[in-house]
């Protein structure tokens, strides 16, 4: 028979069978998330390296292509994500303080920010498509478009891949938040059991940090 006693108290149902204590479970959950984020960083680093390489190969082309990037929209998106990171942190704090209503509110606020980000991003893509800046072999700038460099399809291809991958991570984050919302509404989280929320928050911060690097690289660096 496996030993289930934990200093006398009943086995909490959110303590998994293979862990000895909530401390162990929480600490393991956190470490796991940090390790996972390490690999996410390397994933995006690959894309950053590719971009840096293209920039060194075609500096004028990249400079010209970057004139089509709207730094104001990008800036608004950056602020939105920063706010969402704040609301996500506050969400975790609320859960740890056993404040279910605040947890739900901040979760919804974060999700709203995420959706807003995606909307603005989609609009930006739409504006680029309007100019004929399709990715790769479909790149076909309209005659009035300012970017006509023959290699500009490379910049835009990478731009769509990088922002697309980032956007995919935002979608995943939103999905995680929906799941967290369901669990919060089912009263699963409290001051002892919150590590899933914290991990979701960590993931969201990572998504934010990636954007903090993407934005200047794509929009600002000239």
Partner 1 sequence: MQKRDIGKPVFFADMLSSHHGMSTNYLTAKKGFLSWLFTVDHKRIGVMYFVSIALFFLVAGLFALLLRAELMQVRIPNATATSYMISADHYNEAFTFHGAIMVFLVIIPSVPATLGNFLLPLMIGAKDVAFPKLNLISFHLYIVGALFLVYTIAFGGLDTGWTFYTPYSTQTSTSVIAAVFGAFILGFASILTGVNFIVTVHKMRAPGMTWVRMPLFVWAIYATSVIQVLATPVVGVTLILVAIERLLGIGIFDSNLGGDPILFQNFFWFYSHPAVYIMILPGFGIISELVTTHSRKNIFGYKAVAISSIGIAVIGFFVWGHHMFTSGQSALASVFFSLLTYAVAVPTAIKVFSWVATLYKGSISFTTPMCYVFVFLFLFLIGGLTGIFLGALSTDVHLHNTYFVVAHFHYVMMGGTLIAWIGGIYHWWPKITGKKFNQTWGIISSIVVFIGFNLTFFPQFIMGSRGMPRRYYDYLPEYYSFHLLSSIGSFVLAVGLFIVLFNWLHSIFYGENESLANPWKGKSMEWTETAVVPIEHNFEKQPISTHGPYEFDELIKPIKAGGH
Catalog residues that contact partner 1 under the rule CB under 8 A. Answer: 1-3, 16-18, 20, 24, 27-28, 31-32, 35-36, 38-40, 42-47, 49-50, 53-54, 57-58, 135-138, 150-151, 153-154, 157-158, 161, 165
The rounded distance, in Å, linking the Cα atoms of 77 and 132 is 23
Task: Please report, for residues 20, 124, 186, 218, the alpha-carbon distance to residue 101 in angstroms, rounded to integers and kept in the order given.
Answer: 31, 35, 12, 39
- Which two tokens mark 161? 């891949």
Least spacing, CB of residue 124 vs partner 1, in Å: 18
The rounded distance, in Å, linking the Cα atoms of 141 and 129 is 9
Least spacing, CB of residue 186 vs partner 1, in Å: 18
Least spacing, CB of residue 106 vs partner 1, in Å: 26
Residue 8, sorted as left (phi over 0), alpha (psi -120 to 50) or beta, turns out to be left
The nearer residue to partner 1, 46 or 72, going by C-beta atoms, is 46
Least spacing, CB of residue 57 vs partner 1, in Å: 7
- Which two tokens mark 196? 């899933």
- Other beta carbons within 10 angstroms of residue 55's beta carbon come to 17
Least spacing, CB of residue 89 vs partner 1, in Å: 23
The nearer residue to partner 1, 50 or 76, going by C-beta atoms, is 50
Residue 190, sorted as left (phi over 0), alpha (psi -120 to 50) or beta, turns out to be beta
The nearer residue to partner 1, 65 or 90, going by C-beta atoms, is 65
Phi, psi of 80 (to 5 degrees): -60, -45
Least spacing, CB of residue 48 vs partner 1, in Å: 10
DSSP state of 136: G
The nearer residue to partner 1, 28 or 73, going by C-beta atoms, is 28
């Amino acid at each position: 028979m496996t030993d289930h006693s934990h200093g006398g108290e009943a086995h909490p149902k959110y303590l998994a069978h293979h862990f000895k204590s909530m401390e162990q479970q929480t600490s393991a959950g956190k470490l796991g998330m940090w390790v996972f984020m390490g690999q996410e960083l390397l994933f995006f680093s690959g894309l950053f390296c590719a971009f840096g390489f293209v920039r060194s190969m075609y500096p004028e082309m990249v400079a010209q292509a970057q004139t089509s990037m709207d730094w104001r929209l990008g800036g608004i998106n950056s602020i939105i994500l920063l706010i969402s990171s704040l609301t996500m942190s506050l969400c975790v704090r609320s859960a740890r303080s056993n404040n279910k209503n605040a947890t739900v509110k901040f979760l919804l606020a974060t999700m709203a920010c995420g959706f807003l980000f995606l909307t603005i991003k989609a609009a930006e893509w739409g504006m680029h498509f309007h100019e004929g800046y399709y990715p790769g072999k479909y790149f076909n700038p309209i005659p009035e478009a300012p970017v006509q460099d023959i290699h500009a399809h490379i910049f835009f291809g990478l731009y769509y891949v990088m922002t697309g991958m980032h956007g995919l991570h935002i979608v995943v984050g939103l999905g995680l938040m929906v799941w967290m919302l369901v669990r919060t509404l089912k009263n699963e989280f409290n001051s002892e059991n919150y590590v899933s929320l914290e991990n979701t928050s960590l993931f969201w911060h990572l998504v934010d940090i990636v954007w903090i690097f993407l934005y200047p690289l794509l929009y600002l660096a000239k």
